[in-house]
Amino acid sequence: MNGLGGLNKAPEGVVIGLVQLQLPVVKTPADLARQTERIVGLVGKARANMATMDLVVFPEYALHGLSMDTSPAIMCSLDGPEVAAFRQACIDNRIWGCFSIMELNPGGYPYNSGLIIDDQGEIKLYYRKFHPWVPVEPWEPGDIGIPVVTGPKGAKIALIICHDGMFPEMARECAYKGAEIMLRTAGYTAPMREAWRFTNQANAFCNLMVTASVCMSGSDGAFDSMGEGMVVNFDGSVIAHGTSGRPDEIITAEVRPDLVREARKYWAVENNIYQFGHRGLTAVAGGAGDCPYTYMTDLAAGRYRLPWEDEVVHKDGTAYGFDKPTRRYGERLPKAAE
């Protein structure tokens, strides 16, 4: 199935490279520029590393590190020099790339955004992280949905970011919109290792979808990221895994979106992404197509409330040094958060 990590590529195969990027320290615009150059260089390494590679994936925080600094001086924009450099790197190396930026937001805190750029330098996917890792992360919750795009060999690709993958609804939404490959980029540190592994597998199996996920790696002197580049097949089996955590190692695998399509078409038992909306189809014609889940109907009605809601201790980021927010979702600040 994996063709020695993509060395022996099948005609329908898509080869993915997951860069376990060394965790940087970025405090100034000059630091940001240097890190941009470093990422561009690693796009070139990915191409030299494997001529068959279709898509190179960089982790969340690849450009900014884990400082959580929201200073406008080091925030990015889609038309800024960092994204321009990434676009050119994809053109120069004839490769698709997935990149992470912290995006300036004049109406609030920055967005934690991800981009997929094709081998012609065009931005094909633009996503803002839905679920920041609260209360640790200060990023604005994403507001542009979860896009799915057509990538190499016609593969349908989605991108989620780090903590997003702990919510099964995220992977289900990607699959529901047609994704055959779901990328998950992250900056996670070692305490999350086991949860990272089993959620990557569950997200794949429960949705008959390939998951390809990667974290930052190494230490910045304060934090230790774990690498853990991981590709999981649609049946939940791990086909590549960077267990060494070696910084800048590129974990590669060939995946087969055509076999994802075949499984979604022909599987009966455990075709969960179909059966979710067709409960009991053996007993009832077409299955039950209702929504029997209270948490879904309550959320849609704006009345989501846990039985233990009043007992939850951390309801803002004050324990991690952030000011208690007063602005509601959808409201804008009169100026960008300092």
Q: Measured at the alpha carbon of residue 268, what is the angle toward residues 267 and 270, in degrees to the nearest 5?
A: 85
CA distance 102 to 93: 24
pLDDT of residue 268: 97
Residue 224's domain spans which residues?
A: 3-268
Question: What single letter denotes the amino acid at residue 257?
Answer: P
pLDDT of residue 337: 45
pLDDT band at 4 (very low <50, low <70, confident <90, very high): confident
pLDDT in tens, 39-91: 999 999 999 999 999 999 999 999 999 999 999 999 999 999 999 999 999 99
Whether pLDDT at 338 is above 50: no
Residue 309 lies in a domain: no
Mean pLDDT of all residues in 1-14:
88
Whether pLDDT at 1 is above 70: no
CA distance 246 to 24: 14
pLDDT of residue 244: 87
Largest CA distance in the chain: 65
pLDDT band at 335 (very low <50, low <70, confident <90, very high): low
pLDDT of residue 14: 98
pLDDT band at 336 (very low <50, low <70, confident <90, very high): very low
Residue 320 lies in a domain: no
Active site residue ranges: 60, 129, 162
Count up the domains in the chain and report the number: 1
From the list 32, 72, 38, 40, the residue with the least C-alpha distance to 56 is 40
pLDDT in tens, 269-306: 999 999 999 999 999 999 999 999 999 999 999 999 99
Residue 21 lies in a domain: yes
Mean pLDDT of all residues in 88-110:
97
Q: What is the mean pLDDT of the chain?
A: 96
Q: What is the CATH number of the domain that holds 123?
A: 3.60.110.10
Residue 325 lies in a domain: no
The alpha carbon of residue 55 and the mean position of all alpha carbons in its chain are separated, in whole angstroms, by 14
Residue 314 lies in a domain: no
Token code pair at residue 303: 């009345």
Whether pLDDT at 28 is above 50: yes
Residue 300 lies in a domain: no
Whether pLDDT at 128 is above 70: yes
pLDDT in tens, 153-178: 999 999 999 999 999 999 999 999 99
Token code pair at residue 215: 């974290």
Residue 172 lies in a domain: yes
pLDDT of residue 29: 98
pLDDT in tens, 194-250: 999 999 999 999 999 999 999 999 999 999 999 999 999 999 999 999 988 899 999
Question: DSSP per residue over 198-233, as a string?
Answer: HHHHHHHHTTT-EEEEEE-EEE-SS-EEE---EEE-
Residue 229 lies in a domain: yes
pLDDT of residue 333: 83
pLDDT in tens, 132-156: 999 999 999 999 999 999 999 999 9
pLDDT in tens, 242-259: 988 899 999 999 999 999
